[in-house]
Structure 1
Amino acid sequence: HSPMHHGSFSASTPEKTLQNINDRLRQAFQTMQQLDWLMLTFGTAYVYEQKETGKVVANCHKLPENNFNRRLLLADEIVDEYTSLIISLAARNPNLKILFTVSPIRHIRDGMHANQLSKSTLLLAIDRLQQLFPQHVFYFPSYEIVLDELRDYRFYADDMLHPSPLAVRYLWGRFSETFFSADTKQIMAEIEDIRRDLAHKPFHPGSEAYQRFLGQIVLKIERLIGKYPYLDFQKETELCHMRLNP
């Protein structure tokens, strides 16, 4: 295991774990230089420090809790860390814009008051980063939208902590309105139309009518690829051909 990485990087040997980490680092390094936008979501300002090293860890890997100290970061600590990161990223990609959000999911184990203190710390840190890097740092208020606009509990899942599917769709709609161009919205509408067609379950899969229906889906895909050749519809096309030739 690596205390700085997700469990998906873990392996049976240290060498394999390190290889997994380095492979992803190389991929991230190459991708980062081509990005227009980087989206980062803050969840909590509480961190775990490894007692043995005194360092903040990203993953406790279910090790005993007494191996760690848990504490609330100061807003200045977050600002200092991300100032260094943003300066480094901007040096490699001067056109990069970073969009921050704060997760509306409540961290109930902190207690409701401590959760609010945590979210407030994150909001203060992001606001400071916006002041320091006005050309690079932006903010989308997903946290505020859920808490202030969607105050009814029907917008929460059964655990009363996570946004419900209805709230997620509402947030996606607000995000789309804010950031997507008219062309992007049109592409999304056409893709959604294809997705709905593919989800259709016919009573008679072998019928001539359904075969014509599948042919129309293929034509829609081909027309969309003709206009936007960077779109990848390989799986959808294969699914159509598989249903056309059972």
Structure 2
Amino acid sequence: MQFRTQIPISKSNFPLDYTSVMVSLGSCFAVNMAEQLDYFKFQNTVNPFGILFHPLAIERFIDFTVSQKVFTEKDIFFHNERWHSFDAHSDLSNSNKEALLQNLNQIIEHSNTRIKEATHLIITLGTAWVYRKIESDAVVANCHKVPQKQFEKELLSVDTIKQSLESIISLITSVNKEAKIIFTVSPVRHIKDGFVENQWSKANLISAIHQTISTKKSTINYFPSYEIMMDELRDYRFYAEDMLHPNQIAIDYIWQRFKETWIAESVYKTMDEVDAIQKGLAHRPFNPKSESHLKFEASLTEKKTKLVSEYPFMKF
């Protein structure tokens, strides 16, 4: 007897394997999925500019990356004893102006290479709500705790999001025609915007994605993270203590659905080997000098050496 409905997801015709090079961009849920990819030692770069919640911020980052923008002092500002960029997350902010500029420009250079090399880009949209700096009329990626009176809050329309997604696709394909793009909507609930407003936001994102996909079916894909959370996992036991973010059980389940549909079965055995090594590395022995533990470490080293010889990019 079935006690829930399961969302049908078709297997990808372009699955990921250990030769794939991925770039993951977007909301904090993009980080959740990237942590799984990193755990299993796939080649993945996640959010070089930090978490980016809305499509315009992601588009702007990709535009900077493709055009190889050089950040200068006019692109940053000083607030609360730190230098910031309105185009990047506060994780990148720095008390040293030169250090921030150097870091931003190094990230752009590295990201340009990664997008050109990528076989897959995974883009997670979190919200359609944005903040526009009144003085410059520019939509920002992060407000950096600048007083709210300096911004206007607005909801991106479906048409505006669709134009942004089309621009993202165009920018990526201008430097990498072979890359496969996977869009998904974050299941994280942005309740600070309001309960109704959160659903309105998610609806606009989903509508825009599907309108975009309908005209570019061969190159663009959709993975239903939001729908899995809302339908298959429709219970508060699958949320963290804040009742807004998926908990680890939910993240693991959504990852399993992603694995079943987007990761080649031919690499499942290798994933199991990586998992065994990761669990071995996390093991804490009662007696580190015991003969049994020394044998265990020797066996673990042998397994690592074997995998790294086959996949030199893997680091344990």
* Common fold by TM > 0.5: yes
Letter in 2 for 1:144: E
Question: What is residue 306 of structure 2 aligned with on the other side?
Answer: 223
CA contact (8 A) 1:108 1:161 kept: yes
Alignment partner for residue 135 of structure 1, among 204, 207, 218?
218
Question: Aligned runs of 1:92-107 on 2, under 5 Å?
Answer: 92-107=175-190
Q: Deviations over 1:84-125 (max 9, x none)?
A: 221122121110111111010101111111100000000011
**1:75 and 2:158 are equivalent in the alignment:** yes
Deviation at 1:12, TM superposition (A): 4.0
Question: What is residue 243 of structure 1 aligned with on the other side?
Answer: none
Find the aligned partners of 2:177 and 2:209 in 1 and give their Cα distance.
Answer: 20
Q: Deviations over 1:44-102 (max 9, x none)?
A: 10000000011111111100000000011101111112212211221211101111110
Q: TM-score, normalised by structure 2?
A: 0.70
Question: Aligned runs of 1:109-124 on 2, under 5 Å?
Answer: 109-124=192-207
Question: What is residue 159 of structure 1 aligned with on the other side?
Answer: 242
Greater relative contact order, per chain length (Cα 8 Å cut-off, separation 6+): 2
SS of 1:213's equivalent in the other structure is helix
Question: Which aligned segments of 4 or more residues in structure 1 are displaced greater than 6 angstroms?
Answer: none
Q: Deviations over 1:181-204 (max 9, x none)?
A: 122211111111111222222222
Find the aligned partners of 1:195 and 1:21 in 2 and give their Cα distance.
Answer: 32
SS of 2:87's equivalent in the other structure is coil
Alignment partner for residue 254 of structure 2, among 171, 176, 193?
171
Give aligned pairs, total.
233
Find the aligned partners of 2:167 and 2:193 in 1 and give their Cα distance.
Answer: 29
Find the aligned partners of 1:17 and 1:193 in 2 and give their Cα distance.
Answer: 39
Question: Aligned runs of 1:1-246 on 2, under 5 Å?
Answer: 1-12=84-95, 14-226=97-309, 228-233=310-315, 236=316
Find the aligned partners of 1:61 and 1:74 in 2 and give their Cα distance.
Answer: 24
Letter in 2 for 1:115: N
Segment drifting more, 127-136 vs 138-147: 127-136
Letter in 2 for 1:137: I
Gaps of 5+ in 2: 1-83
SS of 1:128's equivalent in the other structure is helix
Task: Mark the CA change 1:17 to 1:218 in structure 2 (over 3 Å): closer, same or farther.
Answer: closer
Find the aligned partners of 1:14 and 1:202 in 2 and give their Cα distance.
Answer: 45
Task: Mark the CA change 1:8 to 1:203 in structure 2 (over 3 Å): closer, same or farther.
Answer: closer
Find the aligned partners of 1:205 and 1:19 in 2 and give their Cα distance.
Answer: 43
Q: Going by fraction, where is helix more abundant, 1 or 2? A: 1
Gaps of 5+ in 1: 237-246
SS of 2:121's equivalent in the other structure is strand
Q: TM-score, normalised by structure 1?
A: 0.89
CA contact (8 A) 2:165 2:209 kept: no
Letter in 1 for 2:196: H
Aligned-CA RMSD value: 1.5
Deviation at 1:207, TM superposition (A): 1.1
